[in-house]
Structure 1
């Protein structure tokens, strides 16, 4: 299965440790993991069901929200069950092919969700700055094209990582101190030169997530300028309220990721299990809290949820 030389034979099986240093606490740590996964599945599935079955919600804002809910379900499903298997059954063994597959879906889903948040910012920009042209700009046909473009961007940019990882010889140790596989975390166990992996990973980060953050920031600068030019205080309050839930979701998605990156770069003294826990927060928190935020902040979704449960009773 393994060898420790450069003959071209490498590890084909890896072992995920979960959260190293906290092995005796894995059963307790699994509780928030399990609860967050159940809430993410139920909340996002309910959100998708309500939006797709209510014609009154077949508007661009809710259709983009439906896309966001779908990516949240995928992101949770490809990571949390693996972590729970480690915590509950010590089933951390994973083949190289499965590990690379998980890398592909984790990174592509993350890039896709970032793109959806950018599109949702663009949606709010059009709704507030060009309200009379809103329905003519964001037609159903254009929304479908945007969805396809997001899919192609996320999977197209991450697809080369499969080949960048497959070319490597993993002749170092095969113990991964994490709950899931990720690109550089796997590549660093190779005996080959991984500078191509590092540079391509940096390129993807800059060309997708960082670019999305910059464009979202520019969108909200323009939105705020338009809002503060409104003569009516009620109009300003209503416009800010429509952006509130989206801003919360943006902070929730990018905030933990930025904090995790900073701790990895400058927090050398921070214990490894803290880094792993922070990385898992980036995966656990958005899928669980996004449907709650939109359920609380969006009146139309609130009304549909209440109506559905009252009708069932």
Structure 2
């Protein structure tokens, strides 16, 4: 596969839609499908590609199928729906965040149908998806990854092959431990800075210039101090990821105290109705007086 690659995208949410647009800019996008038709029509109108009537219809047209869905059950459902149209030799490229075991189940189904599967979760946030600057952590056969490399490179700044199928999701689990831990630390720190009446602009500048700097602080520090949580990574989705990590930790007999704390915090926010907010909304809990916390 090279410049003749025709890819289809299933799942056009905050990450999937900009990935589809970046594929279209590289003339790699053939068709799109989304459970609710509105996003598919929007991408099709902007790019001129077709809207598939079903995942199977998309798979019949596209030898590379990129999936980007929210949960393990969503991925397995989409895989079952696309199988009747899957062409022999096709590659299903999943950019969702699911468990390594779910990636293996998807791989088994795709292989039985004569296709190949690559689990390739991404990191870099909505901004990275929009600008095609994601970090891809891929699991699968090296030959399959090379065949679809133009698709991977169209959405990313880096593509790293981590091992066989499931390795991408295992790597994403490690990534999400760091994401969750940094969010805990940054939100607590900025809540402390507010209580100390430190000037927010200078505080963000000095923290970002030193060892405390991070992607999260740089891209979410100002917005969280302004109580703007509408854009970014939904905290309900990070909660889902953290539960995957907790299950892995139980299997591996490893203690993950930061993950446990993050699960408790994000569950409280979801229960309060803030599941669609960006994960930086965690600062609202960190601002609570100690007598009210927990």
TM-score (norm 2): 0.31
Question: Whose strand proportion is higher, 1 or 2?
Answer: 2
TM-score (norm 1): 0.30
Work out which of the two has the higher radius of gyration on C-alpha atoms and give 1 or 2: 1
Which structure's relative contact order is higher, taking Cα pairs within 8 Å and 6+ residues apart?
1
Question: Whose helix proportion is higher, 1 or 2?
Answer: 1
